Structure 1
Amino acid sequence: MIRPETIGVTEAGEGILSGTVDSVSFIGDRQRLVVSDASSKPLNVDAPNTIQARIGDRVGLSIAPDAVRLLPSEPRE
């Protein structure tokens, strides 16, 4: 599990992950990006409004290791 505000946006190819911006929503002092192709599910990323991101842009994502929380896996049926 990772919180959207702990994911940093970098240039494509510079982060630990990379993906494609699917949507951009402005939420007050920041913008929420939905980024696909970086993991098995789209990621919500809260980024400063100073970042210029548009739908279809490739972006890199940086995540500090201590920002990741591992949850126990759910039993499969």
Structure 2
Amino acid sequence: MADHPIVGEYRVLPGGVRFDATPASVRRHAPLVGQHGDEVLAEIGYTAAEVAALRAEGVLHTLAATDPLP
């Protein structure tokens, strides 16, 4: 289990490889749904206006702390 500052505790799948001397750990929480959408689209060439249009059309959404989890 891991803890997220907004959504609380969530289940984490174990890694495929295990090391005795360096056990796996969760170093940071998972991103929320759509949290980095703007940045990813900007990296592949979308303008701020194009990203805003996608948000207005409901294509791009960022999960808010008050939204139910999918």
Considering the TM-score relative to the shorter chain, is it more than 0.5? no
Greater RCO structure (CA 8 Å; 6+ sep)? 1
Q: Between Structure 1 and Structure 2, whose CA radius of gyration is higher?
A: 2
Question: If the TM-score is normalised by the length of the shorter chain, which range does it land in?
Answer: under 0.3
When the two structures are superposed, what TM-score results if normalisation uses the length of structure 1? 0.23
**The structure with more helix, counted as a fraction of residues:** 2
